[in-house]
């Protein structure tokens, strides 16, 4: 169903866009509206432009420059999303569009393609290939923007928000590409084309690194509280699930390695393979740093978001209780029961007695989960390559949106 030329609406049926994001060289198949305030929280939306083909290019440019904001009806949202994807390079290179607006456009488009990937039918080989190709195309169009330090303002805008898998994946891919561009000396590339390909591969891996979570039960993924040991073990399976789901997607070897190994720790205490040091691929190490940084700075139902400074203080800190932490991590990984027994000696009914004993043991297990998380937050330096983590801090500190000078 198309859109009408005039509406009275509370605003929920329309979304704003920057008129400068309309490419005068590319025809748009959606209508642009202006908004007028009415009483009682309503607005009038009147069509400004029905078809860009009806307006001479020079006049269209003048019109787009004269409008501060225009609106698109949600019935034509799919048309606008496709148009913005096709014209993404134009938008991101436009000197008169604010960096914040560019970032928001890219984030919204990225969220669309990652959500599509998370909802694909993995039983159909062609479907996964199609959505992975869509991600590659999007990142190829955006890589020059997301690999620049200035684009980190867009990431900074999202720091502290609620954790969502698709938004998290976008940030991890974005940070990985930025790091690669800012630390070119780490990579054996001889041409700008090779460097660009590497940044694209890093961003693609970041966008897809958590795709295996679609195989994890929804009640575990969406759990409001902390995960118990069984749930924690299930979550850890997502790296292997990701690799298996993408096995026939024709992704480069480096992408697949990054996706599979982005939870390996420098000291060998990570998963799924317990790799350490040089056995862990370089981009997987970078993705791991970006992944943990974003996870710590995101808000969850059971924890407040940490500031970038707080998160990196934890990540660079030497843990004084490392051996105890590793014991708890191994207990969780192997789904061991809490090494505690409970005996109720009162004159309970046998069934009530067993129930009470079970409650005591479950409470002890919860306490050990809490203890594991608290111990982790005392220092995670053992998880990361120290030089890469230092470089990560130096990289994001170049953006005025982050102030990490106290860590340097």
| Residue 326 within any structural domain of the chain | no
Given the DSSP bridges, would you call strands 14-17 and 70-73 parallel, antiparallel or unpaired? antiparallel
Closest CA to 311 of 400, 382, 222, 407: 407
Residues paired with residue 72 on neighbouring β-strands, in sequence order? 15
What is the reported pLDDT for 337?
A: 52
Residues 182 and 122 both lie in one domain: yes
Query: Taking a C-beta distance cutoff of 8 angstroms, is the pair 382, 315 a contact?
Result: no
Residues 116 and 11 both lie in one domain: no
Residues 254 and 291 both lie in one domain: yes
| Residue 252 within any structural domain of the chain | yes
Token pair, residue 241, equals 């699930």
Judged by average pLDDT, the poorest of 6-20, 60-74, 152-166 is 152-166
| Residue 230 within any structural domain of the chain | yes
Bigger pLDDT: 121 vs 109: 109
Whether pLDDT at 351 is above 70: no
How many folded domains does the chain comprise?
2
Token pair, residue 306, equals 């940490």
Judged by average pLDDT, the poorest of 131-135, 224-228, 283-287, 366-370 is 366-370
Residues 178 and 263 both lie in one domain: yes
Bigger pLDDT: 318 vs 233: 318
Residues 46 and 144 both lie in one domain: no
Q: What is the DSSP letter of 319?
A: P
DSSP 209-224: TTGGGGGS-HHHHT-S
Instruction: Quick: pLDDT tens for 182-215.
Output: 999 999 888 999 999 999 999 999 999 999 988 8
Q: Which domain holds residue 2?
A: 1-86
Bigger pLDDT: 286 vs 213: 286
For the chain, the straight-line distance linking the first and the last C-alpha, in angstroms and rounded, comes to: 57
| Residue 325 within any structural domain of the chain | no
Token pair, residue 161, equals 């928000």
- Rounded CA gap, 157 and 166, in Å? 16
> What contacts 244, CB < 8 A, 6 or more positions away?
212
CATH number of domain containing 117: 1.10.3210.10
What is the reported pLDDT for 332?
A: 65
Instruction: Quick: pLDDT tens for 139-155.
Output: 999 999 999 998 888 88
- Rounded CA gap, 116 and 134, in Å? 10
Residues paired with residue 396 on neighbouring β-strands, in sequence order? none
Residues 129 and 209 both lie in one domain: yes
Residues 46 and 152 both lie in one domain: no
Closest CA to 203 of 238, 236, 179, 237: 179
Residues 257 and 224 both lie in one domain: yes
| Residue 354 within any structural domain of the chain | no
What is the reported pLDDT for 34?
A: 96
Whether pLDDT at 274 is above 70: yes
- Three-state SS at 73: strand
Whether pLDDT at 160 is above 90: no
**Helices and strands (DSSP H and E) totals, the chain:** 17, 5
| Residue 64 within any structural domain of the chain | yes
* Entry pTM: 0.86
Cβ count within 10 A of residue 397 = 19
What is the reported pLDDT for 343?
A: 54
- Three-state SS at 13: coil
Residues paired with residue 6 on neighbouring β-strands, in sequence order? 46
Instruction: Quick: pLDDT tens for 207-261.
Output: 999 999 888 888 888 777 777 777 878 888 999 999 988 888 889 999 999 999 9
| Residue 98 within any structural domain of the chain | no
- pLDDT band, very low/low/confident/very high, at 336 (cuts 50, 70, 90): low
- pLDDT band, very low/low/confident/very high, at 87 (cuts 50, 70, 90): very high
Task: Indicate the average pLDDT of the chain.
Answer: 86
What is the reported pLDDT for 183?
A: 96
- pLDDT band, very low/low/confident/very high, at 300 (cuts 50, 70, 90): confident
What is the reported pLDDT for 234?
A: 83
CB-based burial of residue 96 (10 Å sphere; 0-12 exposed, 13-18 middle, 19+ buried)?
exposed
The edge-to-edge listing of strands for the beta sheet with 6-9 is 6-9, 43-49, 32-37, 70-73, 14-17
- Three-state SS at 3: coil
Residues 82 and 120 both lie in one domain: no
- Domain boundary pick from 86, 120, 147: 86
Judged by average pLDDT, the poorest of 18-22, 90-94, 137-141, 316-320 is 316-320
Cβ count within 10 A of residue 298 = 22
> What contacts 156, CB < 8 A, 6 or more positions away?
399, 401, 402
Residues 78 and 118 both lie in one domain: no
What is the reported pLDDT for 198?
A: 95
Mean pLDDT across the stretch 348-363? 62
Residues paired with residue 14 on neighbouring β-strands, in sequence order? 73
Closest CA to 408 of 395, 398, 396, 393: 393
Residues 5 and 44 both lie in one domain: yes
Share of the chain above pLDDT 90, in %: 54
Query: Taking a C-beta distance cutoff of 8 angstroms, is the pair 342, 360 a contact?
Result: yes
Residue with the two structure tokens 């697949």: 256
Query: Is the preceding omega at residue 140 within 30 degrees of 0, hence cis?
Result: no
Mean pLDDT across the stretch 64-91? 94
| Residue 15 within any structural domain of the chain | yes
Residues 19 and 68 both lie in one domain: yes
- pLDDT band, very low/low/confident/very high, at 159 (cuts 50, 70, 90): confident
What is the reported pLDDT for 364?
A: 63
What is the reported pLDDT for 339?
A: 54
């Amino acid at each position: 169903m198309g859109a009408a030329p005039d509406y009275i609406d509370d605003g929920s049926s329309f979304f704003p866009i920057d008129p400068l994001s309309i490419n005068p060289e590319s025809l748009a198949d959606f209508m642009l509206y202006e908004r007028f305030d009415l009483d009682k929280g309503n607005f009038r939306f009147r069509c400004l432009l029905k078809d860009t083909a009806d307006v001479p290019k020079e006049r269209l440019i003048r019109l787009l420059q004269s409008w501060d904001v225009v609106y698109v009806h949600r019935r034509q949202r799919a048309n606008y999303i496709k148009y913005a994807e096709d014209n993404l390079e134009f938008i991101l290179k436009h000197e008169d569009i604010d960096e914040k607006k560019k970032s928001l456009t890219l984030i919204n488009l990225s969220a669309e393609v990652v959500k599509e990937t998370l909802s694909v039918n993995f039983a159909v080989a062609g479907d996964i290939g199609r959505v992975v190709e869509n991600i590659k195309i999007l990142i190829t169009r955006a890589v020059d923007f997301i690999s620049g330090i200035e684009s980190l303002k867009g990431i900074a805008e999202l720091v502290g928000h609620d954790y969502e898998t698709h938004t998290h994946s976008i940030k991890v891919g974005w940070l990985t590409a930025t790091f690669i561009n800012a630390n070119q000396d780490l990579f054996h590339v001889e041409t700008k084309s090779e460097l660009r390909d590497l940044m694209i591969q890093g961003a693609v891996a970041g966008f897809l690194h958590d795709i295996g979570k679609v195989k994890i039960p929804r009640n575990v993924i969406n759990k409001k509280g902390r995960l118990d040991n069984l749930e924690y073990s299930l979550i850890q399976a997502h790296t292997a699930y990701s690799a298996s789901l993408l096995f026939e997607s024709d992704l480069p070897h480096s992408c697949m390695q990054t996706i599979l190994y982005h939870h390996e720790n420098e000291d060998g205490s990570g998963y799924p393979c317990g790799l350490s040091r040089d056995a862990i691929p370089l981009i997987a190490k970078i993705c791991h740093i970006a992944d943990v940084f974003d996870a710590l700075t995101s808000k969850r139902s059971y924890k407040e978001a940490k500031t970038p400074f707080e998160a990196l203080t934890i990540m660079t800190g030497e843990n004084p209780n490392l051996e105890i932490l590793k014991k708890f991590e191994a207990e969780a990984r192997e789904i061991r029961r809490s090494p505690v027994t409970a005996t109720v000696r009162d004159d309970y009914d046998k069934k009530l007695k067993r129930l009470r004993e079970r409650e005591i043991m479950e409470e002890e297990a919860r306490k050990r989960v809490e203890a594991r998380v608290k111990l982790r937050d005392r220092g995670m330096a053992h998880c990361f390559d120290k030089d890469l983590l230092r470089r990560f801090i130096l990289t994001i500190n170049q953006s005025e949106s982050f102030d990490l000078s106290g860590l340097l």
